[in-house]
A and B are shown apart, each in its own frame.
Chain A
Amino acid sequence: MITVMIFIPRDLYDKDSCLLYGNFALSSRGNIAIFYVLQLLQNVKERSSINLTHVGQYNKSETSYANVANRSINWLTVGNKYNDLFVKTLVVQGETVNMTSPKIIFITYDLPIFINTELLFFTACEREMENDENYFRTLMYNIKYCYTNISNTNQKTSKRIILFVLEYLILFLNWVLAGFVVLLPVLKLSSLCIRLHNSLESFRWALDGQIYHKSSKLKIGNYVVATLVDIISGYLILYWFMSLVSSTLPSQLLLHSAEEVVHTLQELLKWLMGIPAGLKLNFAFNKMLGKFFVYHINLWWTFLVLAEPVLDFIFFIFLCFGRLGLTFQAAILADLLALASFHVYCIYVYAARLYNLQISGLLALWRLFLGRKKNPLRGRVDSCEYTANQLFIGTLAFTILLFLLPTTFMYYIVFSTLRLLVSALAGLLIRIQFLLQAVPLYTLCMWLLKSTSVSSSLHMKVQTRKSGVPLVLSMTPVRGSLWKTIKKSIPDPVKKPSAIMWGSLLKSIVTGQLIYPM
């Protein structure tokens, strides 16, 4: 008992007679025969270079064409009686099939709409592992394969010139990006350079996708809209900012805020060198550490004061880049933050390394206190016969480290907190940049307007269900869930920032490992 499924474009109803071009497939068990009709042509001469086989013909009236059935292995003749489709002759795998036994299902679809949908194709391709006999997937794949290979030979000359220029632009961009990649280890420190690199890459990707039809129109649409929103909001904010600070020089502003930061830090260190929070820390050690850090801060402040003219120039460059969009401004802010908090970072590194050394030393000496030693060969702690010398020096060192721990710990906690704050701010700015780039306004509008270009699932409706006549279903693409649609239409170069690992962060804080920006 064979079942025949026939996918047919809906504009069949408008025609009187035509030739059916498409593909044929047979299920693995041999009981289902599928005809994919992808093109309706009037005569053989209209055939383009698409690789489709002639699978049948259709005519409304009773007259039939010259019977070409004998030459084909799979053949289908479709007729139309009172607007009901039915099959006149059917040849499957060389055998003519008796019209009474098979079950026939017609599925009509709107070909132009199906050519335009992209998400349907992607959704179908995802389930490749699940169901090998997904006929819809094969249909989509065939449509995609046939209709996207239409070459641009029939284009106007002006379009050709534009394409030519764009191709050269892409070559130039490739060259620039290669240069960036070479300098990447140095430029990685500045988030502005990273942002510039990302935006150039996205631009190249968009051009590539548009010219060579490599990426979906949705993603490119999203990218264009996001960039436009970015630039416009950047201009607005810049205008507002300039109106606020038009009186003072921007470098003076920067210097002023840096001076505030330096003063605050000095006050903080003075507080730590005294009796912070009522804790009485070791006097000599405390004074030594405090003086050392204050010296560092003074050094940084002198450097800033000396570099004032350079700051003017740098600020001018920042303003130029700021015009490129809000994401660039966020990147510039991140850079300024890193610059202004450099001394905090330095002091934090010192304090963290000292704390780490002290903790690991204490741990090793505690084992010596108990008369044990770590055995790296077996990966465990064994008892050990120490000499009196070793015990003497070891216990003295343990006592010293133990009583100096509160002082180190105080400094470490204070500067760790500051460093975490700065890191959190920097992380926030990175995520703002990601959000601005990935905001899917275009997709959202399309989805709200129920446009078929964002459809990701199918709606099947029964058109004819009478006895004696084959079942006719109609298939229309509809929009899927908003979240899935948005997820699939984020432009390719936009990468989500990596998630924060809270467990390892906590462990790093406790043991004194350095925290890197996340």
Chain B
Amino acid sequence: MKLKKTYVQKPRKWKKNLYENHGFLDNYTDTSFLEELRKNLNVKDSPLPTIILGAGRVTHELCIIVLFTVIFVYLYNGWVEPEAVFMYSGCLTSLGYILYRFFLTAAMPYTTLLKDLRTVLVFLGFGYVLSPVLKTLTDTISTDTIYAMSTFMMFIHLVFFDYGISASIVSSALSLNAALFASVCLASRLATPFHAFVLLTNTVECFALLPILVAEIEDSAVILSTVILLSLVALCTVSVTMTVLFSCVVIFVTIICPLLFKKWTRYKENIYGPWDEAVVEDQEM
């Protein structure tokens, strides 16, 4: 059955509502269709160095993990005395603390001195008291399981770490806890409780205190390259295969991924329009 055509002229314009469009077919598409569509409103085309430095944060964290593992290997094989490790890492930490408190933050350093001292004492005290227990915890578990668990936990640490970008997957508590768990697993393989205590102190310094310092420092190519070089050199002394693998990963993460990211920006297609959810912002009244 044919649709009965109406004889009403159609000089009127089609309006975007439901009650005024007599005479138009039901599937009529006006020329003003989707004229409010906007594409890629918020895309910032950053220059390549910025992207590389952003990816460098991940590499930075990866290098810290590698350095930590190297320290463990040295302690495990007995290539270095635990007292030496303790002293050196202690000195570095104090330097970092002074740097943080006096140069980078604006607040009065002396008010928080007592609180920081208390934090340090808690770390050292509990670590020292619990290290004999921690050393015997995983005696009966095979070494392979320990290594696998540590690797898995360090991976979780990398995934959930707070890189300074707001994302919902970030959970700084989980990343710190995962790193601590991994180090406790490794600590049980060492020779004496003092070794375990030293490793635990190193963990706290690397994963709990260092991120606070790093968050205050801006991205800098100099620091990044220093850290990468340091970890490559350290890894060289342990195993050449690992160095090669590690350098491959570093090149991939720091250079190849940003290049790809920059290249593929033109495929980005975010659409915005009046149909988006309203974003309510706080306003000072």
Interface residues of A (CB under 8 A from B): 280-284, 368-371, 383, 385-386, 388-389, 391-396, 398-400, 403-404
Q: Complex formed: what's the CA distance from A369 to B175 in Å? A: 9
Taking a contact as CB atoms under 8 Å apart, the answer to whether A283 and B140 are in contact is yes
Taking a contact as CB atoms under 8 Å apart, the answer to whether A394 and B177 are in contact is yes
**Of B136, B176, B184, the contact of A283 (CB 8 Å cutoff):** B136
Residues of B within 8 A of A368 (CB): 173, 177
Taking a contact as CB atoms under 8 Å apart, the answer to whether A396 and B173 are in contact is no
B119 within 8 A of A: yes
CB pairs A–B below 8 angstroms (22 shown): A282-B139, A368-B177, A369-B174, A369-B177, A370-B171, A370-B177, A371-B171, A371-B172, A371-B174, A388-B209, A393-B126, A394-B177, A395-B184, A396-B126, A396-B180, A399-B134, A399-B137, A399-B181, A399-B184, A399-B185, A400-B130, A403-B137
Residue-wise interface mask of B (191-213) relative to A, using a CB-CB cutoff of 8 A (1 in contact, 0 not) = 00000000000001000110000
Taking a contact as CB atoms under 8 Å apart, the answer to whether B174 and A370 are in contact is yes
B249 within 8 A of A: no
Q: Complex formed: what's the CA distance from A18 to B136 in Å? A: 104
Known: A283-B139, A369-B177, A370-B174. A389 touches B122 (CB 8 A): yes
With contacts defined as CB atoms under 8 Å apart, how many contacts are there between chain A and chain B in the complex? 74
Q: Complex formed: what's the CA distance from A24 to B173 in Å? A: 87
Q: Complex formed: what's the CA distance from A403 to B136 in Å? A: 10
Taking a contact as CB atoms under 8 Å apart, the answer to whether B122 and A282 are in contact is no
Residues of A within 8 A of B134 (CB): 396, 399-400
Among residues of B, the one whose C-beta sits closest to the C-beta of A371 is: B173
Q: Considering the complex, which residues of chain B in the window 44-74 have a beta carbon less than 8 Å from any beta carbon of chain A? A: none
**Of A282, A369, A385, the contact of B137 (CB 8 Å cutoff):** A282
- 12 further A-B pairs in the complex, CB-CB below 8 A; given A368-B177, A399-B137, A399-B181: A280-B140, A282-B139, A369-B173, A370-B171, A388-B176, A391-B176, A392-B122, A392-B123, A395-B180, A396-B130, A399-B180, A400-B137
Q: Complex formed: what's the CA distance from A370 to B169 in Å? A: 12
A275 to chain B, nearest CB (A): 10
Main secondary structure of the interface of B (DSSP, over half): helix
Known: A371-B173, A392-B204, A393-B126. A282 touches B180 (CB 8 A): no
B133 within 8 A of A: yes
Residues of A within 8 A of B126 (CB): 392-393, 396
Among residues of A, the one whose C-beta sits closest to the C-beta of B122 is: A389
Taking a contact as CB atoms under 8 Å apart, the answer to whether B171 and A395 are in contact is no
Residues of B within 8 A of A370 (CB): 171, 173-174, 177
Residues of A within 8 A of B171 (CB): 370-371, 383
**Of A282, A371, A394, the contact of B140 (CB 8 Å cutoff):** A282
Residues of A within 8 A of B137 (CB): 282, 399-400, 403-404
Among residues of B, the one whose C-beta sits closest to the C-beta of A387 is: B119
Q: Considering the complex, which residues of chain B in the window 92-142 have a beta carbon less than 8 Å from any beta carbon of chain A? A: 119, 122-123, 126, 130, 133-134, 136-140
Q: Complex formed: what's the CA distance from A389 to B122 in Å? A: 7
Q: Complex formed: what's the CA distance from A417 to B113 in Å? A: 56
Among residues of A, the one whose C-beta sits closest to the C-beta of B129 is: A396
B84 to chain A, nearest CB (A): 24
Q: Complex formed: what's the CA distance from A383 to B177 in Å? A: 15
Among residues of B, the one whose C-beta sits closest to the C-beta of A365 is: B177
Residues of B within 8 A of A386 (CB): 173
Taking a contact as CB atoms under 8 Å apart, the answer to whether A395 and B181 are in contact is yes
**Of A282, A369, A391, the contact of B136 (CB 8 Å cutoff):** A282
